[in-house]
Amino acid sequence: MELGLNRLPWYGQVGVFLVVAVALFVVFRIYYVGPRLEVQAERQVDLDGKRAEVAQARQDAIELAAFQVEVDDLNNRLDALSAVLPEQQEVSQLLRRLTTFANDSNLTIRAFRPQATVAREMHSEWPIRLELDGTYHNLGIFFDRISKFARIINVSDVVIRAKEPPELNLTIAAECTATTFVLIDPPEAEPVAAPAT
């Protein structure tokens, strides 16, 4: 008996052809296409991860720009506040300024006594005891000039007494405490080391 495809009826030949074709397709799929699909799936996962990193980097860049604007704004505010709250005691400058205010207000400074500073969290208070001679109106002008000074100066513990005997333009003796503020620099934070990659 001779085996050959020619002896099979046409539908048998088609059936054998289909079985061989399916077998070849399965072998092709298992040994060639399957590994390629796995590699492609791994690459797709890597690509999705890289796209997520790029999206996060873009978001970080946007946030960095916003943070930079905020830092610049805060630095500008700090510079403006540093003019109002200096970082060191400027005794001679403050004495000159208070003397100028007193002279412009027709007052005489009898005493200028700096007191001990009082440390607070972000600033220190620096009280200065003043003794002044003049008129009540001139004392009001002096306090008004202090209130308009760029640097913060609080006036407290005001004691006003009539001068005995009163003289021309010297009817009162006043004592007060002028408290100014000095900005304390926070200690420098140690830089944080970047994690090794």
Average pLDDT rounded to a whole number, residues 87-102: 77
Helix (H) and strand (E) counts in the chain: 4, 5
Provide the number of structural domains found in the chain.
2
Q: Where are the beta strands (DSSP E) in 103-152?
A: 108-114, 118-119, 123-134
Judged against a pLDDT cut of 80, whether residue 33 lies above it is answered with yes
Pick from 22-26, 38-42, 50-54, 122-126: least confident: 122-126
Q: Under a CB-based contact definition with an 8 Å cutoff, are residues 105 and 145 in contact?
A: yes
Q: Both tokens of residue 188?
A: 């420098």
* The predicted structure's pLDDT at residue 85: 66
* The predicted structure's pLDDT at residue 6: 75
Q: Which residue, 84, 110, 145, sits at the end of a domain?
A: 84
Write the pLDDT tens digit of every residue in 7-20: 788 888 889 899 99
Does residue 95 sit in the same domain as residue 74?
no
Q: Which helix (H) or strand (E) holds 40?
A: helix 34-84
> How far is 143 from 125, CA to CA, in rounded Å?
19
Residue 51 sits at φ, ψ, to 5 deg, of -65, -40
* The predicted structure's pLDDT at residue 34: 86
